[in-house]
Chains A and B, each alone.
Chain A
């Protein structure tokens, strides 16, 4: 028998298999991959928000010793038309946002490349630009609902009538700022051309996604593009699709054939080149009857998008199915501006949307005179309100009840602004969390039996640092009914079978289902005692329950907040999250995921704020001194727990994604706690000290 704590069965806290490699620094990330004689690329970025490049004089840069080439729209090769606009780099002199790539210097060292980039002389024709997020009709539109990522606006029942007739009503507008994905490992890529084949060492969330997008951009058969991402230091959505720098590196390496080209973006460059969570403005209207049951729910969200490429965040989407409400209207609109392209950032839609909805729920609970936990329980639906489908599992009430008991909620005095200790006002708050349980079909896995009694499991998935490698090994071990020690998992590249990207908290469920299917087929073909060399490749069966059940993870977030009576400084000494997210594959890595999500939610609540300057069109605070992310000193006690949830429908393992639900609800819980502490209701993130100054 193996050690219980390391037997690797599902649910056990198996240590990360790649932990020793990471803590000793031998795990190689994209930029660290050994390549012969590399060159270094530094992107040139536009200094204006809209217009065109008139002249670009690269000769001072090219004259510098060590510079190999300067790519611009004047000398870059033509890319296939019709590709993603972010990838169509250097195809024209047009500029659609400040920070857009207008060139690239390739040199012997990063320092020379950066210095040379500063020597390139650019003149522009400036066009009027507009980068100020607001709700003016001239920039607002409803996105095309034919896009599968964009649900059509919802209008059920008679919202206006129900609101007019409601015993209690809340009508409030909430705003969230632009927030920036800043994974610990910045975006980086190495491009190597050899014999008309491109190899990319790239920090991404899906090596096949990178291949699928880069190959057509360069006019290549996808088989000629090889993408490796053996270790990735986080992405939060920003590495879900490749960005301009990957194409730049590939173009440069093709031009300088024989020399690998490395490109690592700086933090500053990441503020315009790899996406961000767009700012939102959300109006929530709720109506309730005298018993504290919602009769009307309206959530209308406006989000920012870029004029050069539409990205439609869906901030209001959770309101479709969260609570009882016979009358319901949910709309999402976009404001189009001359700004960098937004993208996914941890729980896109839900993170910002549930801030608004769960703050409004707090406001409504107070209006109705009902405890905020009880108010949510009272409005718990039996079936998904929009579709009428049964839930595959929904244990929000248990999360709320168990969380309330653990947190000490039940002795709470609802009176605001009355608990002061040593100059700090104390309060507590709660919010619910939800995130869809996605499973992306189409992945394949190969299982082979190797000399020495090992099972080789291959899947082209990416481990963002969350522990996928470990969790998938556990799933394989359980499915094969062997100890985890005899499983050797290979992932991270297009050398393994095709796998979906790590996004939407779908990875472990999607890849795990595929591995389970492969294990079952392997056993069916080769039995319990396979011959060496036995091998099976399988594709995950599609889940017949999709479309029959509403599938989501749920959680309850509790926060204690202290606000300084003199300075308005706000601190969060204590948080508790209780989650219902199906079966937990690895208690250790799952706990880290929830902790990380909740910490990011704390950061969202108190700190994160990308400030656009409308005159220049850039994010003014585009570095870590100006863009604040919660530091260790900001994080107090964070407790995480989860229910023993059995969901027979989501997938063969009964697991739901957990990467994103940890952040959802945190900002609302903290804001609600701040209101309880001070009596001041803030409807605008982040919760900075001046908002509590009296």
Chain B
């Protein structure tokens, strides 16, 4: 690991000023991803600014019934939060599906959103990778790409976003609060992450130095049911092959409202707007679920090793919708 300077931030403004003014400086939260990257030589920051002592470690209920989650709230604390478990079960389930207990104890909300792909080639500096070293090529395109994207990828990068939490946040219409040198801005979580295009090295729309301070969840609808389902190779501690976060409302046997996000399929948490559209007003039947999935997957492009993601996504989405609508109808 390359030697680096470390400082602990006492206030957000000075942290932001420090990182904004130094292209080689980075924020560090839980460090569960960044420190790995530093050990592997994927990134070599010269300065780390530790933000875990900043006052962003609480989960607050907002006057409108929503919830604001501070950026440094630990994943395990957020998953255990009573208000999250009660009102946003999809988020609690997604958090608990992520990583291991040890990692969740350290990982933060902001850091989880900004974790980088686990593409094996990205993580190995001895192989070409456009995301790590722009212009060197994408090794996964013709390589081992079982975990890679089938939606929204480009010829430059087929990596997937690894977060479970972010998939749930996308289905919840969460908003990310960001502080920069020019003030605060609010970014819908669905717009935080980028598709790779021809700049796969840029994961998000954040500018260097911008700091995530919180995530806001809109008030849940009273009739909504939500769930997160993660399909993976082993029962714990594995990234998603496919995951589904869904928030559904059913009225008189028909789906009045559905918000769906998919994980493991794209460079970002994939908001399944085509599926949502197909479901609007549709009867809660297996056929409607499958049609919705097919609508979303119409544009999917598979690689050598990941064609299974199409039927797996279709089946998993159907299973989640079946479960949510069955609960509602019971």
Contact = CB atoms under 8 A, between A and B. Distances in A.
Contacts of A631: 234-237
A625 B238 CA distance: 7
Contacts of B238: 628
A690 B312 contact: yes
Contacts of B3: 111, 115
A47 B231 contact: no
A38 interface: no
A607 B242 CA distance: 17
A630 B121 CA distance: 23
Contacts of A423: 319
Given A566-B315, A693-B308, A607 B233 contact: yes
A412 interface: no
B23 interface: no
Contact of B231 (A569, A613, A634): A569
B126 A618 contact: yes
Interface of chain A: mostly helix, strand, loop or mixed: loop
Nearest to A65: B3
Contacts of B121: 620
Contact of A111 (B1, B126, B308, B315): B1
Interface in B284-322: 308, 311-312, 315-316, 318-319
A592 B32 CA distance: 33
Nearest to A629: B234
A524 interface: no
A569 B315 CA distance: 12
Contact of A689 (B2, B239, B241): B241
Interface string B225-237: 0000001111111
A689 B231 contact: yes
Given A111-B1, A566-B316, A567-B312, A615 B234 contact: no
A606 B238 CA distance: 13
Contacts of A115: 1-3
Contacts of B142: 615
Interface in A601-637: 606-607, 611, 613, 615-616, 618, 620-623, 625-626, 628, 630-634
Contacts of B311: 693-694
B118 interface: yes
B41 interface: yes
A615 B143 contact: yes
A118 B39 CA distance: 11
B312 A689 contact: yes
A693 B315 CA distance: 9
B127 interface: yes
Contacts of A611: 144
B236 A620 contact: no
A97 to B, nearest CB: 13
Please indicate which of the listed interface residues B139, B144, B234, B241 has the most CB atoms of chain A within 10 Å of its own CB: B234
Q: Categorize the interface residue count of chain A.
A: 35 or more
Interface of chain B: mostly helix, strand, loop or mixed: loop
B120 interface: yes
B231 to A, nearest CB: 5
A556 to B, nearest CB: 26
A676 interface: no
B243 to A, nearest CB: 11
A618 B237 CA distance: 24
A621 B144 contact: yes
A618 B144 CA distance: 11
Interface in B237-254: 237-239, 241-242
B318 A613 contact: no
A467 B143 CA distance: 43
A616 B127 contact: yes
B144 A620 contact: yes
Contacts of A621: 120, 144
A626 B120 contact: yes
Nearest to A117: B41
A450 B126 CA distance: 58
A568 interface: yes
Contact of A625 (B118, B236, B242, B308): B118
A689 B236 CA distance: 14
Please indicate which of the listed interface residues A47, A607, A623, A632 has the most CB atoms of chain B within 10 Å of its own CB: A623
A689 B233 contact: yes
A688 interface: yes
Nearest to A613: B143
Given A615-B142, A618-B126, A607 B234 contact: yes
A566 B120 contact: no
Contacts of A606: 233-234
Contacts of B233: 606-607, 628, 688-689
A360 to B, nearest CB: 26
A634 B142 CA distance: 31
Contact of A630 (B1, B139, B234): B234
A615 B140 CA distance: 11
A262 interface: no
Nearest to B319: A566
A456 B3 CA distance: 51
Contacts of A625: 118, 239
A368 interface: no
B235 A633 contact: yes
B265 to A, nearest CB: 14
Nearest to A112: B3
B76 to A, nearest CB: 17
Contacts of A615: 139, 142-143
B176 to A, nearest CB: 26
A628 B120 contact: no
A114 interface: yes
Interface string B39-71: 101000000000000000000000000000000
Contacts of B124: 618, 620, 622
A693 B311 CA distance: 7
Contacts of B232: 569
A567 B309 CA distance: 10
A408 B127 CA distance: 51
Given A115-B2, A613-B144, A625-B118, A633 B234 contact: yes
A613 B139 CA distance: 10
A328 interface: no
Given A114-B1, A115-B1, A690-B308, A634 B235 contact: yes
Contacts of B237: 631, 633
B316 A620 contact: no
A567 B316 contact: yes
A649 interface: no
A9 interface: no
Interface in B172-225: none
B239 to A, nearest CB: 7
Given A115-B2, A607-B233, A616-B127, A567 B144 contact: no
Interface in B1-38: 1-3
A346 interface: no
A571 interface: yes
Nearest to A266: B39
Given A118-B41, A634-B234, A693-B311, A620 B318 contact: no
Please indicate which of the listed interface residues A47, A569, A628 has the most CB atoms of chain B within 10 Å of its own CB: A569
Nearest 3 interchain pairs by C-beta: A690-B308, A633-B235, A633-B236
28 contacts: A47-B126, A114-B1, A115-B2, A118-B2, A118-B41, A423-B319, A566-B315, A567-B242, A567-B312, A567-B316, A569-B231, A569-B232, A571-B235, A607-B234, A611-B144, A615-B139, A615-B143, A616-B139, A618-B124, A620-B121, A622-B124, A625-B239, A633-B235, A689-B231, A689-B308, A690-B308, A693-B308, A694-B311
Interface of B: 1-3, 39, 41, 118, 120-121, 123-124, 126-127, 139, 142-144, 231-239, 241-242, 308, 311-312, 315-316, 318-319
Given A114-B1, A567-B231, A567-B316, 4 more contacts: A111-B1, A115-B1, A115-B3, A620-B120
Interface of A: 47, 111, 114-115, 118, 423, 566-569, 571, 606-607, 611, 613, 615-616, 618, 620-623, 625-626, 628, 630-634, 688-690, 693-694
